Amino acid sequence: MNHSVSTTAIKEPDRPIARRLHDWRVNQGIFLTIMILLLVLGDLQIPYYLLNPDALKTVYSSIPAWYPLYALAGLVSNIAIIIGMWRMKKWSAYLLVVYFASKILVDLIYILPDKQIAVFATTVVGAGLWFWATYRKWELFDR
């Protein structure tokens, strides 16, 4: 009768999920996490503006008929960006670049002249902060 030990070792279970999640958050960094949370907060206003288009007239000179679809597409893309950034996927950074490019174009065409500098400045500062947040952690992003 052979009582030898099997050559296949029983693997220890992976580290607890909470520990892996903690390590992942530490690698992601506080700044990128704050940027993601700010994007979540910013997106909460989109449904309000879709339901109250008169509120947009304080900033936009004229609201084109396609603007609600653009805002809805922006909300959908931002949700994808939030999920992708949280999971540290490169495609989310590329989608963020497309979002900011379209936002700058629409803002330059439709924002009231006296509001353009402030809106453009906040857009550029936001894009710069996002660039810095992702650039610092780019090697941790995967496809």
Could you tell me the residue ranges of all domains in the chain? Answer: 29-140
Kindly tell me if the per-residue pLDDT of 37 is higher than 90.
yes
Sequence length of the chain is 143
Crossing angle of helices 113-137 and 30-43, in 10° steps, is 140
Res. 38: pLDDT tops 60: yes
Instruction: Identify residue 41 by its one-letter amino acid code.
Output: L
| Residue in the structure block whose two tokens are 């660039």 | 131
Exposed, middle or buried, 93 (CB in 10 Å: 0-12/13-18/19+)? buried
Of 48, 50, 141, residue with least CA distance to 96: 141
- pTM, rounded to two decimals: 0.74
Please tell me the predicted confidence (pLDDT) of residue 34.
93
Residue 133 clears pLDDT 80, i.e. is over it: yes
pLDDT band at 110 (very low <50, low <70, confident <90, very high): confident
DSSP at 52: -
Mean pLDDT of the chain: 82
Which residues make beta-bridge pairs with 7? none
Average pLDDT, integer, range 82-106: 93
Residue 111 has φ and ψ, to the nearest 5°, of: -75, 140
pLDDT band at 23 (very low <50, low <70, confident <90, very high): low
Q: Give the pLDDT score at 131.
A: 96
- SS3 of residue 124 by DSSP: helix
- Selected residue with higher pLDDT from 31 and 67: 31
| Residue 64 vs residue 113, higher pLDDT | 64
Longest dimension (CA), the chain: 91
Instruction: Read off φ and ψ for residue 119, nearest 5 degrees.
Output: -65, -45
Tokens representing 27 are 């690698």
Q: Which long-range contacts (CB under 8 A, 24 or more apart) does 39-42 make?
A: 39/78, 39/81, 39/82, 39/85, 40/82, 42/78
